[in-house]
Amino acid sequence: MGKFVASMMAAAFALGLAANAQAAGYDKQKVVYHINSADTKTQKGALRNIQNHINAVGKDNLDLRVVMHGGGVAMLQTAQKDEDMKGSIEKLKLQGIHFNVCANTLKGKKLNYKTDLYDVSEKDIVPSGVAEIAALQQKGYVYVKP
C-alpha cells in the first residue's frame, strides 16, 4: 500500500512538471549524430550540419548528442592543433551540445583522453559508442549520420 501511494504521489508530481512543461511548449527534439569517419573534411562537414540543425530548430528546443567512435575520435585529436575545429566544437558546446567518446575506441587506439583529445572529461566517455547510439535510439533519439 505504501509503495502504491508513493507511486501515485510521484505520478502526480511528474504530472505537475509535465503540465508546466506543456504550457511552456517545452518538448525538446532529441537527436544523436554518429561520427565514425577519420576524414577531417567529413568531420568538419558534420560540425557544420550540427550548427545548421541548431539554427533551424533553436538551441533551447534541442537535445543533441554527438557520439564519436572508431575513426571519428580523431576529430578531437585534430582539434588539439586545428584552431578552426577547436573553435567550432567550443561554439557547439556553448550551445548545449554534448560530445561523447567511445571507451572501446580509446582502448583500441591507446589514447589518453586527458592528453590526446581536446576537452574530454570522464563523464563524456561511454563504454561502447555503438551501444550508446542504439540505446539513445531506443529512448527516442533520432539517428543522423552526416
Partner 1 sequence: MNEKDFSEEFLSAFVDDQLTAEEKSRAYEQINRDDSLNRRVCELRKVRDLVQLAYRDVPGAPSASGHGRRARMSNLAAGVLLALGVAIGWALHAPGDDNKLEGASLEFVQPDPVQITSSQSAATVPSEPAQPNARRAMEVAKAGTPAKVLIHVNDGEMTHLGQALDEVDNLARYYREASINARIEVVMNGDGLSLVRADVTNFGARIARIQRDYDNVVFEACKNSIDRLRRDKGIVAKLLPGVVVIDSGVAQLMRRQNQGWAYIQV
Partner 2 sequence: MLEVLNLFRSRSARSVLETHRARLYRIAYAWTRSPALADDLVQETLTKALVKSGQLRDPKASEAWLYSILSNCYRDHFRRLRETEDVDAIELLSDSNPEQESSQQQLIDKVRAAMMRLPEGQRQVVSLVDIEGFSYVEVAEILAVPIGTVMSRLCRARASLKEHLLPELRAQTDAGEPKLRRVK
User: Cell triple for residue 84?
Assistant: 578552426
Amino acid at 20: N
Among the candidate windows 27-35, 94-102, 104-112, 114-122, which touches partner 2 by CB under 8 A?
27-35
- Identity of the residue, 112 or 138, whose beta carbon is nearer to partner 1 in the bound complex: 138
Q: In what order do the strands lie in the sheet with 125-126?
A: 125-126, 98-102, 62-68, 29-35, 142-144
Binds partner 2 by CB under 8 A, chosen from 1, 3, 41, 83:
3
Distance between the two ends of the chain, CA-based, in angstroms? 51
Nearer to partner 2, 127 or 140 (CB): 140
State which of residues 10, 56, 134, 135 lies at the interface with partner 2 (CB under 8 A).
10
For residue 63, the partner it binds in partner 1, partner 2, none, with Cβ less than 5 to 8 A by kind, is partner 2
**Residue positions counted in the chain:** 146
Residue 34 or 53: the one with the smaller Cβ distance to partner 1 is: 34
The sign of the torsion formed by the CA atoms of 118, 124, 128, 130 equals negative
Beta carbons within 10 angstroms of residue 89's beta carbon? 22
- 3-state class (DSSP) for residue 144: strand
Binding positions for partner 1, rule: CB under 8 A: 10-11, 14-19, 21-23, 34, 36, 69-71, 102, 104, 108, 127-131, 133-135, 137-140, 143, 145
Residues that bind partner 2 (CB under 8 A): 3-4, 6-8, 10-11, 13-14, 17-18, 21, 26-28, 30, 63, 139-141
